[in-house]
Structure 1
Amino acid sequence: MLTIHGTCPDSRDKLRPGTLGTEGAFPDDIVWIDLLNPTPEEDKRVERHLGISIPTREEMHDLEPSEIIYTENGARYMTARVICQSDTIVPVLADVTFILTDKALVTVRYDEPGAFTIFLNRATKPGGCGQQPEAVLDGLIEAIVDRAAEVLRGVGDKIDIASRRVFAGRGQDVERGGVYQLVIQKIGQYEHIISNVRESMVSVERVLLFLSANYTRPKKAQTGFSAEWRSAVRDVQAIEEHAAFLSNKLQFMMDATLGLVSIEQNKIIKLFSVVSVALMPPTLIASIYGMNFKTMPELEWQWGYPLAIGLMILFAVLPYLFFRWKKWL
């Protein structure tokens, strides 16, 4: 799908969504061309209009690290990984290519990250976006960074809830395979989201560093965006530090959860050991009087059977009382 956005005559700080017919020419005021799951025909139309090459989905996915950011025929090609489907259990990273030219910004994507929806809602309102390709790129990157920060904040809140469940849980939950198993599964899901956010921010940071170091303001542009991009770099680095903090917190939760599980399992093993020791004397007595020797004086005793039963009960109770006195039970 090919979507165009042009300047708005009644305002200098918002975009105007437009439509383009099958064979219609691109208007002169277009500053942003968004390609979502584009067809080969749509790619060719944009290539003819701007004199650039649009990468295919396979080319975007198979890019070498040295080819993620490059300049060709005066156009800057930048591919970033943007977090997508963050509201699901397992979010994914979507490859998005930004092509910055003097005429317009072109975005090529094969998924629908939430950051694009956020930016579209913002850019069509007064004060939402400037009417330059660089302003659109700056706004998109800002929306991507804001979305990543929002995702991390949500994960942080969920981690706090899981932490309370871990340290307020009861030992019986281990025996039932309850809360600890669920928490470990959640920790894995949260770590996956955090790692995706960090990977996304690393790619966005590379784009921002490239723009800050290699961007030259076009003659028609009234202001530059180097300062905004340098500020965005600091925001990205702050998000990366927050992601590292949450990752360390998850590691602590994992260690604490496994430690609590181990403690509860040791209690169960200790109980089995104590029971085994307590039953050893009665077992010894029963074994002795279960031997089939012909000459055993106790076999002729009238009270031999009650005495054996009493001894077994006595030697089962005495270890139990001893263990309780030692506070081993």
Structure 2
Amino acid sequence: MLLIHGICPEHGDRLTHQTLGRDEPIPAGSVWIDLLNPTSPEDKKVETHLGISIPTREEMHDLEPSEIIYTENGAHYMTARIICQSETNVPILADVTFILTETALVTVRYDEPGAFGIFLNRVAKPGGCGVQPEAVMEGLFEAVVDRAAEVLRGVGDKIDSASRRIFDGKSSDVEQGGAYQGVIRKIGQYEHIISNVRESMVSVERVLLFLSANYKRPKKAMSGFSPEWRTSIRDVQAIEEHATFLSNKLQFMLNATLGLVSLEQNKIIKLFSVVAVVLMPPTLIASIYGMNFKAMPELEWPYGYPMALGMMVIFAILPYLFFRWKKWL
């Protein structure tokens, strides 16, 4: 299946998209060409149409930090890491390359981040996006930021739910249900998602800073739109601050959960200690009268056995009453 998508201006300010067949040429005036899992012939078709080079999946993955953003033959090449499969317990970061030229925006991706689906739904509506390449790129980044905010909001709700489960529940129920272990596992999953969102926003912010400082609108390009990269940068920074807040909240939750685990363990150790102290006097009495010495008058006394049992019971009760009086139990 050919997965090249072209978005062309039609009906005034509305953009429409289509999936091209293998032998179909790229329509003139296309402002966005989206390459999803492109084959070599598809790459060559776009390269011939725009006079640029399309990086392969291996080249995108092996990019050095200094090669993530560069300009070649008048085209700006920018690679950002976008969160993908955020609905799963272990989301991933997908490398997406944005190639911004005077006449079109080309995106190269080998995964399907949810932000692209959000943006495609927006452009299907009248006035959902401008008809300039930079307008499409700005709209894509807005969708990426919105998706990141949505993911963080979902993680925040889950963190609140896990927190209530720990701090509002009875300790016995928590211990028997194994909630501590489950919460610690969930904390690790949530932290993984948050770190992925933060890493994604850092890469997006780097691209936006580059565009804000270096992008100059071509004179031959269509007029009527001027991208506000700085607005998107402020949104990205707000997402990063929110991710830091949630990460700190998770750290507090982890420390509190480990503290509660320690308290439960201390209760168990305290119980064993009390039982050992309570049984110590009876054990001492039983040990004394269990010695095999002939000169022990109590052994021949008719009431010696009941006396020993009574002493063991009394000296077992006295430490217990003492612990209750001290409120150690």
TM range (shorter): over 0.9
CA drift at 1:288: 0.5
Task: Give the superposition deviation at 1:196.
Answer: 0.5
Within 5 A, what are the aligned runs for 1:32-181?
32-173=32-173, 175-176=175-176, 178-181=178-181
Structure 1 alignment gaps of length 5 or more: none
Q: Does 1:276 align with 2:276?
A: yes
1:211 aligns with 211
Taking the aligned partners of 1:265 and 1:182, their CA distance within structure 2 comes to: 17
Measured in 2, the distance between the counterparts of 1:224 and 1:230 equals 15
1:3 paired with 2:5, answer yes
TM-score w.r.t. the length of structure 2 is: 0.96
**1:282–1:147 Cα change, 3 Å:** same
Give the secondary structure class of the aligned counterpart of 2:16: strand
1:317 and 2:317 aligned: yes
One-letter code aligned to 2:96 = V
SS of 2:31's equivalent in the other structure is strand
Asked whether the equivalents of residues 7 and 16 of structure 2 are also in contact (C-alpha less than 8 Å), the reply is yes
SS of the aligned residue for 1:243 comes to helix
Confirm or deny: 8 A CA contact 1:174 1:261 kept in the other structure.
Answer: no
d(CA) in 2 for partners of 1:225 and 1:209?
16
Q: Is the 8 A contact 2:130 2:225 kept in 1?
A: no
Aligned residue in 1 for 2:24: 24
Q: Percent identity?
A: 76
2:75 partner letter? A
Alignment of 1:188-227 (within 5 A): 188-219=188-219, 220-223=221-224, 225-226=226-227
Question: SS of the residue aligned with 1:11?
Answer: coil
Letter in 2 for 1:180: Y
The offset of 1:169, in angstroms, is: 2.2
Is the CA contact 1:169–1:179 (under 8 Å) kept in the aligned structure 2?
no
In structure 2, runs of 5+ residues without a counterpart are: none
User: Partners of 2:289 and 2:122 in 1: how far apart?
Assistant: 90
- Report the residue type matching 1:225 in the other structure: S
The farther-off stretch of 241-250 and 176-185 is 176-185
Q: Point out the more displaced range, 184-193 or 174-183.
A: 174-183
Letter in 2 for 1:132: Q
The question of whether the paired residues in 1 share the 8 Å contact of 2:132 and 2:225 is answered with no
Q: Secondary structure of the residue that 1:290 maps to in structure 2?
A: coil
Further displaced range: 200-209 or 42-51: 42-51
Q: Conserved in 2, the CA contact under 8 Å of 1:217 and 1:223?
A: no
What's the CA shift for 1:295? 2.1
Distance 2:111 2:36 in 1: 7
Q: Equivalents in 2 of 1:117, 1:150: separation in Å?
A: 14
Classify the secondary structure of the residue corresponding to 1:63. Answer: coil
> 1:177 Cα shift?
5.2
Separation in 1, partners of 2:60, 2:173: 48
1:121 is displaced (CA, Å) by: 0.7
CA contact (8 A) 2:105 2:133 kept: yes
Determine helix, strand or coil for the equivalent of 2:79. strand
Stretches (4+) displaced over 6 A = none
The TM-score normalised by the length of structure 1 is 0.96
Contact preservation (8 Å) 2:166, 2:174: no
Change (3 A) 1:223 1:230: farther
